[in-house]
Amino acid sequence: MDRTRIIFLSIIGVTAVAVLGIFLFRPRPQPVVGLIGSEKQPFFQDERVQAALRRNGLDVRVQKAGSREIATAFNLREYDFAFPAGVPAAQKIQQQYGISTSYDPFFTPMALMSWRPIAELLVQQGIATNEGGYYLVDMVKLLPLLQNGTRWSELPGNTVFPVNQSILIRSTDVRKSNSAAMYLGLMSYVANGSNIVQTLNDARLLMPFLSGIFLRQGMQASSSQEPFEDYLVKGMGHSPIVMIYEAQYIAQAALGDATLLPDMVRMYPSPTIFTKHVLIPFSEAGHKLGQALENDPELQKLAIEYGLRNSNLAEFRRFTAEHNVRLPETIVNVVEPPSYEVLEGMIQMIEQLYQQQGGQP
Amino acid sequence: MSLKRLLAVLFFTLVYVSAPGCALLRQAEIMTVLAGSEIKDIEPLLAQIEKETGVRLELTYIGTLDGAEALLDGADYDLAWFSHGKYLTLLQGGRGLVVTEEKIMLSPVIMGVKESKARAFGWVNNPNVTWQDIAEKASVGELRYAMTNPAASNSGFTALIGVATALTGSSDAINAGDVNVPALQAFFKGQALTAGSSGWLAESYVAAQDTLDAQINYESVLLSLNESGMLREKLVLIYPKEGIITADYPLMLLNGGKRQAYDRLVTYLRSPAFQQEMMRTTLRRPVVPGIALDGRIPNPLLVEIPFPNSASVIDSLLFSYLDEQRVPAYAIFVLDVSGSMRGRGIADLKAAMNSMTGLDESLSGRFARFRGREVITLIAFSNRIEETKVFRIDDVAAQGPTMAEVRSFVNSLQAGGGTAIYTALVEAYRLAEEAQRQEPDRYYSIVLMSDGANTDGISQRDFERYYASLPETVKGIRTFTVLFGDADEATMRRIAELTGGRMFDGTKESLSQIFKQIRGYQ
């Protein structure tokens, strides 16, 4: 073998080893696996979010479940983190696993989606007000309609939606999902004469009504993405009014596609209630993720693109204005959910009623 | 080492290292699917699905309750795919059989009414037609419709829940105590054709379209029928005002180990590309937002009826349908006890018949058993009619006198002699004709089980001549044939075709399984 050939081969060999070495031993982001409420799935699936997380050394993989289901139906020790929506679900997990740390990188108020004819009908009934770009629904005035099982066709002067269905707000399954738990928290306040329910005894008195707003809906979705998607796909007959997170609407509006029809309107219940998204870490990597979501400006900004609110209010305002989402200047009428014990107690009472009906455990 | 070798090694090392991310070099991953037959029309899209996801779906078809039962019994499939998963979700309770599920497409269960009828009723372009209106027309014999058996097929199952909820007059989720039996009896008076599968129902509707006025089925099936050119009269789609239930075809992951493949699958199935193609070829509605509805799919206000949140409510609805609401059945079983049945054959037959007397306590067995109000006629034949006995099922207790009597008859059967298929069949039609004269308000059907060729009695030609001479109402009685042992397939197929029935193959599944399926058609 001549000399040039040997040199040539050596160069090739060394290069190959180097290439392979770089390929095999390049620094890889740490895999982090977690269970999340379904509403945050699009956020985590976003390539830009994944890239920002990788820059923080995190390769995040998520599975979705109902927020309350996360606390009840999984062995979370097999995961790096749980990221349910809502303080109650988070508290349930924290209690169950004895974990005191948590991160709450973003929050969102509960909102309602409806249809212009229905919203205007509610205005006519003196229940809602048109605020230009959104509506406010006076939950105290809506309450008797829910309590009495009033049907849409029974509303005086209703020619736009004369169906026989009861007036109900479509929600998720309160046994599994946070948005339904928030709805329960909200309605318990309204039904309790605008007072936070303080004791399980008080809760018990309200149960005939509170259980009805869920049981009468029949089978419900276990996770909040589904009712909003149903609303978008199945129309007014399927979902006259549906309880959502404000963030879901903003994220959809920001897509700028033709999905949101002109007749689709957003309403804020008054009072409304906030949902915090709480990350509970089960490993070092989980901690790292919580910190990154709270502190990384890029991730904070991306969260806003999914409609979530956080400390960067200026960016939130800029982003929503850019996408023509009209928002209340401030959401004044906000109630706190009942204490964890009371809310959990109410959910368990409803759970028992489901079981008495022979429903699924 | 030569340069070539080195480069080759380098190349293959790189390929090996990067292969997991590279779909082209990967072999298709096979995923087994337990599916409802209503999914069958997806088959033409399977190749495309495999190309896009690297997942090859292998579908096994099964009925609603049988499917739910198989899964609860731990049948080993990666996926389940039915028109809806709600019943299974309720049945599985906390057992967590379904790892996760994702809706793939939509189709409401509605009624299609012949144009002339719809016009006469004033139902064309009329958004105010109710299930109540339909019940009224059905109860006076003005509307004869086809609908599958709710205990056997998802379209009938979904329709029953919707109709039963609508006819309570309330609009909330139905509870067991709410069932309005008289209203439902009126409604089901019009059910002139039942079936164990929606596909067979649609086919049989085409064959019997001159004797029927309407059909309850998936919107997609009705639209496809209208496009098929096989209908002499188009079906006007009715979306009753009280509401309908929409099937949402969830793809359910059962094998958690195949999560990654499942995720790829779902991502593709819910992509606009697939959703559009699926809508174009099957006329189902897209399930993801932002896809415009195909112009061929009507766009009325679809009011959704709440689906009950309880397996026991659903069970009691199904039992009520079978025991109180539906037109009671008059079922004739023509059973071959010729010499060739000796041994295993007759034992299988006895087991199958006995299991229908309430001894089979499985989920499907509970629904497939002989039910209250039914008349069951058993004709045992060899080279002649051996024995005929009529049982009126007024006491359904498995250990009660009626069922004991059925069992003692069945257990006394003995194999021997030749096979006079057509003679026995003529006897069945003769009995049916006589019974029909006395009790016209029953649903008549015949099951013919045989394990051999016709060796004795009248010939095929004689039978066909006899059948042709029958009055229309008797001719409308279908014969469901069951192949067993060395049965003559051509004969059995011909009889099923001639009478509008269906042939079942008892050589591959147990007779008990086959009889359970046939119960869906009675």
Q: The CATH number of the domain where A55 resides is what?
A: 3.40.190.10
- End-to-end distance of chain A based on CA atoms, in angstroms? 78
- Residue B23: predicted pLDDT: 47
Phi-psi region of B404 (alpha: psi -120 to 50; beta: other; left: phi over 0): alpha
What is the predicted pLDDT for the residue at B18?
A: 46
Q: Could you tell me if B166 and B212 are in contact, meaning their C-beta atoms sit under 8 angstroms apart?
A: no
Please check whether the two domains, B107-247 and B328-519, share a CATH topology.
no
Phi/psi region, residue B416 (left: phi>0; alpha: psi -120 to 50; beta: rest), is left
CA distance A212 to A38: 25
Q: Are strands B29-36 and B214-218 parallel, antiparallel or unpaired?
A: unpaired
Nearest CB among A12, A217, A259 relative to B173 is that of: A217
DSSP codes, A254-288: HH-STTS-TTEEEEEEESEEEEEEEEEESSHHHHH
Strand partners, B191: B145
Q: Which residue has the higher pLDDT, A184 or A69?
A: A184
DSSP string, B446-476: EEEEESS---SSS-HHHHHHHHHHS-HHHHT
Residue B303 is given by DSSP the state P
* Chosen from A62, A168, A233, A356 to mutate, greatest number of chain B CBs within 10 A: A233
Q: How many helices (H) and strands (E) does chain A have?
A: 15, 10
Same domain, yes or no: A254 and A155: yes
Closest CA to A223 of A240, A203, A248: A248
Are residues A194 and A284 both part of a single domain?
no
Angle ∠(B140,B143,B148) on CA atoms, nearest 5? 120
One domain, residues A178 and A281: no
Q: In the numeric block, which tokens belong to residue A99?
A: 């974990």
Whether A288 and A219 share a structural domain: no
| A293 and A256 share one domain | no
Selection from B377, B369, B374, B379 nearest residue B329 by Cα: B374
Asked whether the beta carbons of residue B304 and residue A220 sit closer than 8 angstroms, the reply is no
Q: Could you tell me if residue A361 is inside a domain?
A: no
Assess A73–B contact: CB distance below 8 Å, yes or no. yes
Is the bond leading into A337 cis (omega within 30 degrees of zero)? Answer: no
pTM: 0.88
Residues A262 and A173 in one domain: yes
Q: Is residue A129 part of a domain?
A: yes
Confidence of residue A351 (pLDDT cuts 50, 70, 90): very high
Separation CA B217–CA B198 (nearest Å) = 7
Q: Which amino acid is it at B12?
A: F
Contacts of A168 in chain B (CB under 8 A): 172
Check residue B8 and report its DSSP letter.
H
Q: Which domain holds residue A169?
A: 109-274+332-356
Phi first, then psi, for residue B490 (nearest 5°) are -60, -45
Shortest CA distance to B474 belongs to which of B505, B434, B438? Answer: B434
**pLDDT tier for residue A361 given thresholds of 50, 70 and 90:** very low
Regarding whether A269 and A168 lie in a shared domain, the answer is: yes
CA angle B120, B124, B127 (to 5 degrees): 125
The reply to whether A28 touches chain B by the CB within 8 Å rule is: no
Q: Which residues contact B325 (CB under 8 A, 6 or more apart)?
A: B181, B184, B185, B187, B188
Flag if B17 and A233 touch (Cβ within 8 Å): no
Determine the distance in angstroms separating the CA of A208 from the nearest CA of chain B, rounded to an integer.
15
- Indicate if A168 and A187 belong to the same structural domain: yes
Position of tokens 């096994």? B60
Q: Which fold has domain B22-104+249-286?
A: D-Maltodextrin-Binding Protein; domain 2 (3.40.190)
Q: What is the pLDDT of residue B3?
A: 55
pLDDT at A298 exceeding the cut of 80: yes
Are both A82 and A148 inside the same structural domain? Answer: no
Domain ranges of chain B: 22-104+249-286, 107-247, 328-519
Which chain B residue has its CA at the smallest distance from A22's CA?
Answer: B14
Task: State which residue of chain B sits closest to A258, comparing Cα positions.
Answer: B290
Tokens at B450, concatenated:
């045989």
Q: Do A219 and B304 touch (CB under 8 A)?
A: no
Count of the separate structural domains present in chain A:
2
CA angle B397, B511, B62 (to 5 degrees): 95
Contact B6 A13 (CB under 8 A): yes
Strands B443-450 and B385-392: unpaired
Alpha helical stretches, state H, B102-242: 115-121, 131-139, 154-166, 181-188, 198-207, 219-228
Buried b (16+ CB within 10 A) or exposed e, A234-268: bbbbbbbbbbbbbbbbbbbbbeeeebbeeebbbbb
Summarize pLDDT for A202-255 with one digit per residue, the tens. Answer: 999 999 999 999 999 999 998 888 999 999 999 999 999 999 999 999 999 999
Architecture of domain B328-519: 3-Layer(aba) Sandwich (3.40)
Superfamily of domain B107-247: Periplasmic binding protein-like II (3.40.190.10)
Q: Tell me the C-alpha distance between B261 and B259, whole Å.
A: 6
Strands A334-335 and A128-130 turn out to be unpaired
Tokens 């079983």 — which residue? B333
What gap in Å lies between CA A208 and CA A205, rounded to an integer?
7
> What's the confidence (pLDDT) of residue B15?
46
Element (H, E) at A61: strand A58-65
Give the strand pairing for A135-138 and A264-270. Answer: parallel
For residue B483, the model assigns a pLDDT of: 95
Instruction: Identify all chain B residues contacting A146, using CB atoms and an 8 Å cutoff.
Output: none
- Each residue's pLDDT tens digit, B237-246: 999 999 999 9
- pLDDT, chain A, mean: 91
Cβ contact B117:B143 at 8 Å: yes
- Neighbour tally for A198: CB within 10 Å: 12
Q: What stretches in chain B show pLDDT beneath 50?
A: 1, 14-23
The pLDDT assigned to A338 comes to 93
A129 and A262: one domain? yes
Q: What is the ipTM of this complex?
A: 0.85
Q: Is B309 in contact with A220 (Cβ distance < 8 A)?
A: yes
Under 8 Å between Cβ of A171 and A179: yes
| A93 shares its domain with A165 | no
